[in-house]
Amino acid sequence: MGIISCNIFEDEIVHLVENDREVGEVIVIKNENSGGIVRKLEKIGCPLREVNLKNVDEHRFFREVHLENTEGVALVLNILEIVGMNKRRKRLKMNVYDAILRMSLFSDALLLFYGLCGNLLKDIEADFEHLKCPVITLKDSEGNIVDDCVCATLGGKTSFIEVVKSLEGNRTFMLTPMWAANWENMVVANGFARSLELLEESRMVFRVSKYTQVAKINTGLSYQHDFHSKVYEFADYYGLDVREIEADLAIFERCYSELKTAVMYPS
């Protein structure tokens, strides 16, 4: 079973692994984005292997080379680069689609820790329905693909709307732990500034957008130790007030559990 995600959902993945006793082995596809989740998995004492997969043949023979003696669920994690919704947005779709095609060569099922991402991925399940390996995205309890990482972390579209209503009209920027941890890069990736060297540009964007506060989305997870300080660093930089909002991990837990059950006990 494989999970394809960007760094934004590192904590949620670690949470699932830590609480799943049926996972027999965790394998992380080693790349320039995998260091963070490897450190977090090691910190919770999770045995894991890192594997370099450089070409299609190494993916094709992955199962017989790496999974021959695995007991329980073998979970393969592929952490992709964070690509925002700016002019590089098509790269996100290309990266995800490429990862699916490669990992489908050895996976029984793939769970994508992605939402619609500006509708870039709205057809992704249909585009890969021809594969023997099911490809599933994050969905709420009503079967709707979540809009984005914030929507997923808050529990889906209905919950997101309720949270927005509770903000009483205040223009609020929402921060998840990993968004906060990488806020400078995320601001650039999402087009608020042209580069890290020109990060100052984003202050004007936030002023024009009339943001007044930042919501610290509390997931209840403690894998990202600097979450609190990063939120206040962000708030200070843009002159925003801080308020806390509770997250809901049900989407991640349900989607993961349903796909794992389908893999282990096929009908």
Enter the pTM of the model: 0.92
What pLDDT, on the 0 to 100 scale, is given for residue 65? 82
**Number of helices (H) and strands (E), helices first, in the chain?**
13, 9
The alpha carbon of residue 199 and the mean position of all alpha carbons in its chain are separated, in whole angstroms, by 24
Contact 87, 191 (CB under 8 A): yes
Contacts of 17 (CB under 8 A, 6+ apart): 23, 26, 41, 44, 46, 75
In the chain, the domains with their CATH numbers are: 2-148+249-264 (3.40.50), 157-246 (no CATH)
Contact 93, 118 (CB under 8 A): no
What pLDDT, on the 0 to 100 scale, is given for residue 64? 85
What pLDDT, on the 0 to 100 scale, is given for residue 88? 65
Q: How many CB atoms lie within 10 A of CB 266?
A: 8
Contacts of 41 (CB under 8 A, 6+ apart): 14, 17, 26, 28, 48
**118: closest CA among 152, 77, 84, 141?**
84
**45: closest CA among 23, 72, 76, 67?**
23
**256: closest CA among 99, 73, 124, 48?**
73
Using DSSP's 3-state secondary structure scheme, residue 154 falls into helix
What pLDDT, on the 0 to 100 scale, is given for residue 267? 67
Contact 252, 15 (CB under 8 A): yes
Q: How far apart are the C-alpha atoms of 113 and 145, rounded to whole Å?
A: 11
Contact 131, 116 (CB under 8 A): no
Q: How far apart are the C-alpha atoms of 16 and 21, rounded to whole Å?
A: 10
Q: How far apart are the C-alpha atoms of 23 and 14, rounded to whole Å?
A: 12
What pLDDT, on the 0 to 100 scale, is given for residue 54? 85
What pLDDT, on the 0 to 100 scale, is given for residue 190? 86
What pLDDT, on the 0 to 100 scale, is given for residue 235? 98
Handedness of CA 227, 230, 236, 237 (dihedral sign): negative
Tokens of 99: 């990862």
Report which secondary-structure segment, H or E, holds 173: strand 172-175
**138: closest CA among 4, 255, 13?**
255
Tokens of 13: 């993945």
Q: How far apart are the C-alpha atoms of 255 and 249, rounded to whole Å?
A: 10
Annotate 199-244 with three-state secondary structure: CCHHHHHHHHCCCCEEEEEECCCCCCCCHHHHHHHHHHHHCCEEEE
Q: How far apart are the C-alpha atoms of 214 and 164, rounded to whole Å?
A: 12
- Mean pLDDT per 10-residue section of the chain, whose length is 267 residues: 95 96 93 95 94 89 80 91 72 94 94 92 94 93 91 93 90 95 91 94 96 96 92 98 94 94 80
